[in-house]
Amino acid sequence: MKFLGIDVGTGGTRALVIDPAGRIVGSATCEHVAFATPRPGWAEQDPADWWRATGDAVRGALSDAGIDGAAIAAVGFSGQMHGSTLLDDTDQVVRPALLWCDQRTGAECDAITATVGAARLIELTLNPALTGFTLPKLLWVRRHEPALWARVRSVLLPKDYVRFRLTGDRATDVADASGTLLFDVANRRWSAEVAGALDIDLALLPRAFESPEVTGTVSAAGAAATGLRAGTPVVAGGGDQAAGAVGMGIVEAGLVSATIGTSGVVFAATSKPALDPKGRVHTFCHAVPGMWHVMGVTQGAGLSLRWLRDMMGGGLTYDQLCEAAAGVPPGCDGARWTPYLMGERTPHLDPDARAALAGLTASHTRGHLVRAVLEGVTFSLQDSFAIFAEMGVPVSGVRLGGGGAKSPLWRQIQADVYGHTAEIVEAEEGAAYGAAILAGVGAGAWPSVDGACKAIVKVASRVPPSPVAVAALRAVYADWRRIYPALKGVGATDPVAIA
């Protein structure tokens, strides 16, 4: 008996096979075509590319494990959140999906807030209207592309489009649905009031399940495309952050994860819905039934390092970049980076925020710029920890995930900035691993999600903070926080809009 987790990310799809002891026995990744940016702040992908990558990744993982599809007892999904996949009455994709990092919907967010009311919207969904969420994207298409909107008969989130191609079922999970702004997060169901106020037909939306629940089985067509056995159960899974938290064992209050992928997320599990009245962090359902979570999001986390690497050229690897930064002292001799390449969510809620390299002098080197990016991204995540403290959300331990957990330098910077010992789990696989755990729970291998995590998620290493660096970076963080208000609005004007 083995379990398959599939994570439909932004940069690629990851498939991973685990056994009942939680050991990874096979894995593979297939990259996506890079998302398109037709205009500044826009981000789109072709959903068909997710399905192509899924087929290749699943076949690769099965081959790596030395098994065929019949050995898989259940499949779990995870994926990038908030994306809008629009299908017509023949189940064809109407237009490229607008992604989580797309920032074009400021006017639609204003309209949602004005129509529903700011306070009422937070009462109903536990979140304010943000450009990254799904509902504003639907309204944008309806307003700007009415002929395309007239064809729309169903709306699916990215991983759920892949689920549909695999099983033929329209389904989602409560964690991923929480990021649409159409979900009653406190009561774990679609919000008829929000949908009605914005004239969105609830029939467009899939049924929402708890994450370990079985939503359907692999179809004959899905089996042919992936190598899985037709009839294999498929569970709901979770949005990438909730599933990634399961994979790291963040299933009880006090444990917090800091995950750096393309975006960066600080995630805390809670036993009841917790609310920031200012809406700076998100409150969503957890992938653990009966649990919720709060999370702060940095839009351009790992994206910042990738951008710097690509701008420098020369084919440098991330390891080489970090080696160049290894000898640079905390604070980078004054060099600072604000990671707002795609606007920003936490804490600014500003789609027009812009990235900046500040404090540069002629004496700064490549290493200084790299470390400034590593520190700047981490400071942006520290903003979420500061809000958690305001909200009274406990932090008893911090576990690192994503690319930020792979670099020894970035691990240390995070421990020093957060002021907590950073824990690294044995299976540094995040969302795909969590999706596989959810599949195992759905198949009955473990009695519950938290029981599964206690049995198989182990801490492999710990990185204590350096008291000297903690003190130094606390002062640097205070200096860094002055940059956003000083530069607010600079570079946000779109010349195309003026022309």
Dihedral, 309, 311, 312, 317 alpha carbons, nearest 10: 20
Pairing of the two strands 238-239 and 72-79: parallel
Strands of 391-464, DSSP E: 395-402, 422-425, 459-463
The H or E element spanning position 475 is helix 467-480
Residue type, 81: M
**By the 8 A CB rule, do 13 and 49 touch?**
no
176 given a catalytic annotation: no
Q: Which of 395, 409, 444, 384 is nearest to 330 (CA)?
A: 409
Please name the residue that has the structure tokens 């930020």: 404
Out of 240, 350, 352, 450, pick the active-site residue: 240
Give the C-alpha separation, 114 to 104, whole Å.
Answer: 18
3-state secondary structure of 58: helix
**By the 8 A CB rule, do 133 and 127 touch?**
yes
3-state secondary structure of 223: helix
Dihedral, 8, 20, 24, 268 alpha carbons, nearest 10: 60
Give the C-alpha separation, 340 to 351, whole Å.
Answer: 9
DSSP assignment letter at 255: E
Give the C-alpha separation, 224 to 201, whole Å.
Answer: 34
Range list of H helices, 118-213: 118-125, 134-144, 146-149, 158-167, 174-177, 192-197
Range list of H helices, 169-260: 174-177, 192-197, 220-226, 240-247
| The token pair that represents 413 in the structure block | 């910077």
**By the 8 A CB rule, do 125 and 118 touch?**
no
Mind telling me the catalytic residues?
240
